[in-house]
Amino acid sequence: MGPKVRFLAAALGVALMAVPATPADDSLAGPVAAQVVAVIDGDTLAVRARIWLGQDIAVHVRIDGIDAPELRGRCAAERAAAQAARMALSRRTLGQPVQLTGIRWDKYGGRVVDIVSKR
């Protein structure tokens, strides 16, 4: 914000408010209680997170530090490994309560990255 805008705001008696953080700058330490409702692939879960009393949100969570093979991989071996990773993650998490910490926006829109641990 330039000096002219500051002067004009001061002259008009308008309070200057900080510009809200962009989603890329936003984070939440947690812990946030969640329930795994689906396993998207070997490193992404769909959860229902409890954000307030009686208020839950549905969100896709990329597990920090995990990079599983892609279900739409380039070759049959990668696709088979991706299916195996998804099945292994499903056995460990599907329907289970988890705790989310270190929550931040993922580089791909619409999901977050965080540390997922059993509650």
pLDDT in tens, 34-83: 999 999 999 999 999 999 999 999 999 999 999 999 999 999 999 999 99
Query: Looking at the chain, how many residues does it have?
Result: 119
- Tell me the pTM: 0.74
Residue 97: inside a domain: yes
Give the residue carrying structure tokens 């279900």: 71
Judge whether 34 and 49 are in contact, CB under 8 Å. Answer: yes
Residue 57: inside a domain: yes
Q: What is the pLDDT of residue 114?
A: 85
Sign of CA dihedral 70, 76, 78, 79: positive
Residue 69: inside a domain: yes
Q: What is the pLDDT of residue 72?
A: 92
* Angle (nearest 5°) at CA 26 between 21 and 27: 155
Share of the chain above pLDDT 70, in %: 78
Residue 6: inside a domain: no
Pairing of strands 44-52, 111-118: unpaired
Q: What is the pLDDT of residue 2?
A: 54
Give the model's confidence band at 19: pLDDT under 50 very low, under 70 low, under 90 confident, else very high.
very low
Total tally of structural domains belonging to the chain: 1
* Domain ranges, residue 51: 21-118
Instruction: Identify the CATH number of the domain in which residue 31 sits.
Output: 2.40.50.90
The whole-chain average pLDDT of the chain stands at 84
